């Protein structure tokens, strides 16, 4: 990247909204600022505004306007601000495609997951897993697949967080030599042991069906353990009602700052992620970077981070989440060993400084 260039980061959302794209946009913009690389962020938000994060300008385009107005404003912002800027797109892929068609925008894409499958699953339009969904899209999702794939093909390069997503991208027609796997990452700090634990279990993420929170709440009700759930989403009311009906000791914290998430994780004994599918979950990486023992489902992304009984417990679809939690809760020596191994793995493979540097080196 030229010394007089700066970075334009285009993404779907930005803090205080939650989710991987929002967290990455904020973290990477701050990292660039620390490296004295000018950065500007364009993202969508509930309402339009302009804010500054350190020296980075953040333009938030309101989702409260019509789709046409929102897309048009995004395109105009990108066109106006692309001069002498390297463009990294980590969301708003359809808008990026329109920019490519209209004024030949050159950009690098960072894809968190198969966003078409995510939308279909979250909207309960499919019960298929991500692998089975490929090639079986219909209706609006078939159109979305076409546009999403065309957008990625128009990018100079594609960054993905897992080998599984790299495999999917190749099946979408992206040449292998234009795909780089760079894992999601977290700042690695000295491990802090907290003697006082307020919760037996903690889980972090959007409250949507594929996260498996209903099964997790039923498990803690049976085991009579305490659970902290951090995050918000469409299932919030349903899960709160379920917890009350079962008499489960569940605390719903809602959406909080990243600093508060880490603080609450330190107050918990075990981190659990019970999703039916994950790309490369930031919450799991955060827990590992803190040295928490972790329990995760062996789906596409998590099995690239967790080796069963080495740095966490990895469950198959047939494994009982309740039995696994009960097993680990009864063995404090295993908790300590898995937590330490997770911390070492994070420092080696999930270190933000190393992985952000790899992304920066691709921005040429």
Nearest to 297 by CA among 221, 186, 231, 219: 219
Q: Where are the domains of the chain?
A: 6-186+351-362, 199-349
Interval 83-104: pLDDT, tens: 878 999 999 999 999 999 999 9
The model's pTM: 0.89
Q: Which two tokens stand for residue 309?
A: 């009984």
Interval 103-149: pLDDT, tens: 999 999 999 999 999 899 888 899 898 999 999 999 999 999 999 99
Interval 347-356: pLDDT, tens: 999 999 999 9
CATH architecture of 199-349: 3-Layer(aba) Sandwich (3.40)
Q: What values do phi and psi take at 37, rounded to 5? A: -105, 115
State how far the Cα of 14 lies from the Cα of 44, in Å rounded to an integer: 7
What 3-state DSSP class applies to 224? coil
Nearest to 258 by CA among 88, 6, 14: 14
Percent of the chain with pLDDT over 70: 97
- In this chain, the answer to whether the domains covering 6-186+351-362 and 199-349 adopt an identical fold is yes
Annotation: CATH topology of 6-186+351-362: Rossmann fold (3.40.50)
pLDDT band of residue 317 (cuts 50, 70, 90) is confident
> CB 3: neighbour CB atoms within 10 A?
5
Please state at what angle helix 332-349 crosses helix 282-289, rounded to 10 degrees: 110
State how far the Cα of 287 lies from the Cα of 276, in Å rounded to an integer: 19
Mean pLDDT of the chain: 92
State how far the Cα of 290 lies from the Cα of 208, in Å rounded to an integer: 25
State how far the Cα of 347 lies from the Cα of 173, in Å rounded to an integer: 33
Nearest to 291 by CA among 277, 306, 309, 271: 271
Q: Which pLDDT score is estimated for 283? A: 93
The label of the residue with tokens 């037996």 reads 200
């Amino acid at each position: 990247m030229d010394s007089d260039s700066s970075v334009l980061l285009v993404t779907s959302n930005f803090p205080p909204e939650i989710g991987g794209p929002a967290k990455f946009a904020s973290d990477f913009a701050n990292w660039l600022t620390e490296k004295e690389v000018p950065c500007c962020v364009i993202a969508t938000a509930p309402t339009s505004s302009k804010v500054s994060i350190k020296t980075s300008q953040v333009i938030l385009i309101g989702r409260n306007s019509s789709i046409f107005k929102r897309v048009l404003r995004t395109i105009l912002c990108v066109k106006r601000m692309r001069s002498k800027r390297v463009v990294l797109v980590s969301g708003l892929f359809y808008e990026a495609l329109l920019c490519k068609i209209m004024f030949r925008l050159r950009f690098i894409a960072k894809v968190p997951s198969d966003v078409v499958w995510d939308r279909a699953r979250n909207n309960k339009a499919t019960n298929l897993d991500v692998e089975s969904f490929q090639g079986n899209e219909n209706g609006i999702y078939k159109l979305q697949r076409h546009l999403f794939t065309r957008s990625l093909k128009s990018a100079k390069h594609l960054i993905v967080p897992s080998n599984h997503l790299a495999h999917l991208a190749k099946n979408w027609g992206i040449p292998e030599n234009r795909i780089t796997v760079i894992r999601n990452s977290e700042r690695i700090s000295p491990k802090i042991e907290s003697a006082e634990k307020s919760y037996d279990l903690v889980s972090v993420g959007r409250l949507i069906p594929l996260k498996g929170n209903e099964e997790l709440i039923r498990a803690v009700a049976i085991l009579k353990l305490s659970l902290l759930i951090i995050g918000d989403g469409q299932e919030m009311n349903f899960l709160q009602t379920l917890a009350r009906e079962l008499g489960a000791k569940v605390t719903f914290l809602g959406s909080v700052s990243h600093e508060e998430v880490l603080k609450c994780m330190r107050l918990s004994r075990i981190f659990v992620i019970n999703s039916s599918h994950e790309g490369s979950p930031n919450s799991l990486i955060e827990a590992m970077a803190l040295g928490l023992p972790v329990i995760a489902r062996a789906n596409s992304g998590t099995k690239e981070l967790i080796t069963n009984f080495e740095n966490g417990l990895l469950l198959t679809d047939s494994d009982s989440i309740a039995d696994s939690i009960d097993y680990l809760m009864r063995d404090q020596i295993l908790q300590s060993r898995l937590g330490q191994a997770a911390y070492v793995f994070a420092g080696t493979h999930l270190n933000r400084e190393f992985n952000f540097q790899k992304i920066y080196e691709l921005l040429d």
